[in-house]
Amino acid sequence: MKLAFLGLGKMGRSILKGALDRGFLRPGEVGVVGRTPERAQELAQAFGIRPLSLEELPQAERVLLAVQPRDFPHLAPEIAFPGVGYLSIMAGVSTALLARRLDTRRVVRAMPNVAASIGESSTALTALKEAREAGDLDFARALFATVGDVYEIPEHLFDPFTAMSASAPAYLALVAEALADAGVKMGMPRVLALRLAAEALAATGELLKARHPAQVKDEVASPGGTTIHGLHALEARALRAAFYEAVEAATRRGHELGEVE
């Protein structure tokens, strides 16, 4: 067995689906541990993979930890097995803490985002030296490439990455909803307003892949036009400051989650 999932929530299912759909893993090479044997059996049947107990985890070459950070401290003693590599998508939990709790230095830390469900995630990776030497980082890079782009970054940037990239779909969904609500206020039918907001964000994302944000803004904001008046209203409401505070608050929370002992 190449990979066992400890937990299979929305993110875990997205990663599993991407790996299977793109042929990186075959169903027979994957197992899953659920909160109960019944849940493991249910998840296994849904994907055609193998249900596992905690005691059976050593049958896998690697284990993907997809549980809540708060659950990790009491689970760690039950899942620490020599000879197994660990991939973690737990927010805030450092490689040092993973290594100490799991009694191994074969640990890789990853942070994907919800866009993994459509193959458009941005995933950060970092690993300890022993995980690199054992091929765990290469495996993780190939695994997460099935659900989007992969970035290997220094670990001290993980909490800001989480606060910005992993949380960004929620921030931008709020922007889209607010934009649509504003359109409704001006008389736009809600269904149309929501579609236009979604299309505007998607199209702007494509533009930003090739152009600096300031260039896009300046191209749209003609002198004395409607857009510059709208931008003035947003600046008056401290839109930039709100994003600064959101990323700072989420980064602080990432630090707090990493303090689990």
Could you say which of 130, 158, 186 is where a domain stops?
158
The conformational region for residue 80 under phi > 0 = left, psi -120 to 50 = alpha, else beta, is: beta
| Whether residue 137 is found in the same domain as residue 217 | no
Q: Domain containing 181 — which CATH number?
A: 1.10.3730.10
In order along its 261 residues, the chain shows pLDDT tens digits of 999 999 888 999 999 999 999 999 999 999 999 888 888 899 899 899 999 999 999 999 999 999 998 899 999 999 999 899 999 999 889 999 999 999 999 999 999 999 999 999 999 999 999 999 999 999 999 999 999 999 999 999 999 999 999 999 999 999 999 999 999 999 999 999 999 999 999 999 999 999 999 999 999 999 999 999 999 999 999 999 999 999 999 999 988 877 655
Residue 8, annotated ligand binder?
yes
Residue 67, annotated ligand binder?
yes
Residue 9, annotated ligand binder?
yes
Contact criterion met (CB below 8 Å) for 159 and 30: no
pLDDT of residue 256: 86
The reported pTM is 0.88
Whether residue 163 lies inside any domain: the answer is: no
3-class DSSP assignment, residue 126: strand
Residue 43 and residue 33: Cα distance in Å, rounded? 9
Q: Domain containing 11 — which CATH number?
A: 3.40.50.720
pLDDT of residue 36: 85
| Whether residue 133 is found in the same domain as residue 25 | yes
Instruction: Count the domains in the chain.
Output: 2
DSSP secondary structure letter of residue 135: T
Residue 128, annotated ligand binder?
no
| Whether residue 114 is found in the same domain as residue 236 | no
Whether residue 261 lies inside any domain: the answer is: no
Alpha-carbon torsion 66, 67, 69, 73, what sign?
negative
pLDDT of residue 39: 87
Whether residue 219 lies inside any domain: the answer is: yes
Walk across the sheet containing 3-6 and list its strands: 50-51, 30-33, 3-6, 62-65, 85-88, 107-111, 121-127, 148-152
Q: 7 burial class (0-12, 13-18, 19+ CB within 10 angstroms)?
A: buried
Residue 11, annotated ligand binder?
yes
Whether residue 108 lies inside any domain: the answer is: yes
Count of beta carbons in the 10 Å neighbourhood of residue 236: 8
3-6 and 50-51: which strand pairing? unpaired
Residue 3, annotated ligand binder?
no
DSSP secondary structure letter of residue 166: I
Residue 207, annotated ligand binder?
no
pLDDT of residue 17: 95
Q: Number of C-alpha atoms within 13 angstroms, CB side, residue 19? A: 26
3-class DSSP assignment, residue 122: strand
Domain of residue 94, residue span: 3-158
Residue 260, annotated ligand binder?
no
Residue 209, annotated ligand binder?
no
